[in-house]
């Protein structure tokens, strides 16, 4: 057996300790969590919901048009405060908006304000600006309420399953869903997706979980969704479910059917809803998978170490420029699709907050410094590897898969940062 170091030389120095990223949690503090319920309105309530969605959509577009006109004609930038004053005048002149909950209308104006704030922020950073756009009815997601009891009131059912949601101007609507951790309702967003209505309710709660005792190192990937190195020197893996590939045939057929339909026809509307339904089901499967796997990892672990990922850099296009075109553009585009399909950032974020709820350490290993994929977990030498090189073979005699070696590097580095002594074969030093 090849003897292994528990960490690189100098890993316990103050410099290394200062660079570690560890997330912990105060179980006595309240946090915000979103609970999503599906609405089951009656026919009359469905019509009222659509009318209300149309009012918010037209308000958003009118406020955007007002900002554009003010800048073009007067070189004046309108603020959310300015438009809130105009909203008061609108509610006086138009009985439809007078009947609309005032706070929900302000939330719609605030969304436009945030869209412009993001636009200016991107301009300052030199990124693609992305000027706020007018929204059609089908592309306007919904509206919100910022205070429980003002415009909406939620009453959960027995055991925090399902419940009733009372909306101003709509009435009491039955909702279905289950809250893992009960809490006090604070805000609410009504969402319209693929012909269905949802309520996303933000609650203030004190979630708690239980964790395990063993330290693990985790390496995310595309070929294998996650490779886990255990403190007892063993390995386990989570296979990539590839939900997009499972739905590929049905999605391509539905998209081809949509392309054949005449624009603005009823058949095209039906075909578009079918495409949206396939995407919705795929998203639901992926989200359920991520929640289940992240919860299982946290429940079995006492310390979790993973590589710090910058998904934006990982999924950059390889097209290049006209003067300097890129290479292997199609292959890189395919890899980017596979990366997005696994949602690595969402997965790690779930592990982070669930680990915090369980009171266990979650450490992100700095990729640029440690380079888990290029570092040997036995002798700690670094050697560049092409992405196609899936086997780690080192001159010290260690042979592992690329993902297993990276997961073990993450684990050893994290153990060194926390001052925790490795167990099993990992405790052997060179």
- For the chain, the C-alpha Rg in angstroms (whole number) is 26
Domain spans in the chain, listed from the N-terminal domain onward? 14-27+209-427, 31-43+144-205, 45-130
Ranges of residues in the chain with a pLDDT under 70 are: 1-28, 321-324, 421-430
**CA 415 to centroid of chain Cα atoms:** 28
DSSP assignment letter at 128: -
Q: What are phi and psi of 194, to 5 degrees?
A: 50, 45
Average pLDDT, the chain: 88
Identify each DSSP E strand in 118-240 by its residue range.
142-145, 152-156, 161-167, 171-178, 184-193, 196-205, 214-220, 224-230, 235-239
For 388, the token pair is: 């196609």
Q: Are strands 184-193 and 224-230 parallel, antiparallel or unpaired?
A: unpaired
pTM: 0.83
Residue pair 175/165 in contact (Cβ under 8 Å)? The answer is yes
* Amino acid 301: pLDDT: 94
Q: What are phi and psi of 155, to 5 degrees?
A: -120, 105
Residues 246-286: pLDDT tens digits? 999 999 999 999 999 999 899 998 999 999 999 999 999 99
Residues 70-94: pLDDT tens digits? 999 999 999 989 999 999 999 999 9
* Amino acid 238: pLDDT: 96
């Amino acid at each position: 057996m090849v003897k292994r170091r528990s960490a690189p030389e100098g890993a316990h120095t103050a410099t290394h300790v200062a660079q570690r990223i560890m997330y912990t949690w105060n179980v006595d503090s309240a946090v915000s969590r979103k609970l999503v319920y599906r609405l089951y309105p009656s026919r009359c309530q469905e019509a009222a919901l659509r009318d209300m969605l149309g009012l918010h959509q037209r308000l958003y577009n009118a406020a955007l048009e007002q900002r554009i006109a003010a800048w073009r004609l007067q070189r004046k930038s309108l603020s959310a405060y300015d438009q809130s004053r105009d909203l008061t005048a609108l509610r006086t002149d138009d009985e439809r908006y007078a009947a609309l909950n005032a706070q929900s209308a302000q939330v719609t104006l605030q969304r436009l304000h945030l869209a412009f704030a993001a636009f200016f922020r991107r301009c300052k950073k030199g990124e693609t600006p992305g000027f706020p756009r007018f929204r059609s009815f089908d592309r306007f997601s919904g509206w919100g309420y910022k205070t429980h009891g003002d415009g909406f009131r939620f009453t959960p059912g027995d055991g925090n399953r399902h419940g009733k949601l009372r909306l101003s101007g709509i009435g009491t609507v039955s909702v279905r869903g289950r809250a893992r951790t009960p809490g006090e309702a604070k805000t609410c967003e009504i969402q319209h997706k693929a012909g269905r209505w949802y309520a996303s309710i933000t609650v203030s709660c004190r979630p708690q979980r239980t964790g395990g005792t063993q330290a693990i190192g985790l390496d995310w990937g595309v070929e294998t969704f996650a490779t886990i190195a255990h403190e007892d020197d063993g390995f386990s893996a989570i296979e990539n479910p590839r939900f997009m590939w499972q739905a590929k045939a049905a999605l391509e057929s539905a998209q081809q059917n949509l392309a054949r339909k005449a624009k603005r026809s009823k058949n095209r509307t039906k075909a578009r809803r079918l495409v949206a339904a396939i995407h919705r089901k795929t998203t639901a499967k992926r989200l359920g998978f991520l929640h289940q796997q992240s919860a299982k990892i946290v429940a079995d672990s006492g310390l979790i170490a993973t590589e710090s990922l910058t998904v934006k850099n990982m999924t950059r296009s390889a097209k290049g420029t006209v003067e300097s075109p890129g290479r292997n553009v199609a292959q890189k585009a395919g890899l980017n699709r596979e990366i997005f399909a696994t949602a690595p950032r969402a997965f790690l974020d779930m592990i982070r907050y669930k680990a915090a709820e369980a009171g266990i350490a979650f450490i992100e290993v700095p990729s640029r410094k440690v380079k888990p994929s290029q570092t040997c977990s036995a002798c700690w030498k670094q050697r560049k590897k092409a992405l196609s090189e899936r086997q780690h073979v080192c001159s010290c005699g260690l042979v592992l898969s690329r993902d297993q070696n990276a997961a073990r590097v993450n684990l050893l580095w994290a153990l060194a940062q926390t001052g925790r002594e490795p167990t099993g074969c990992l405790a052997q030093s060179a």
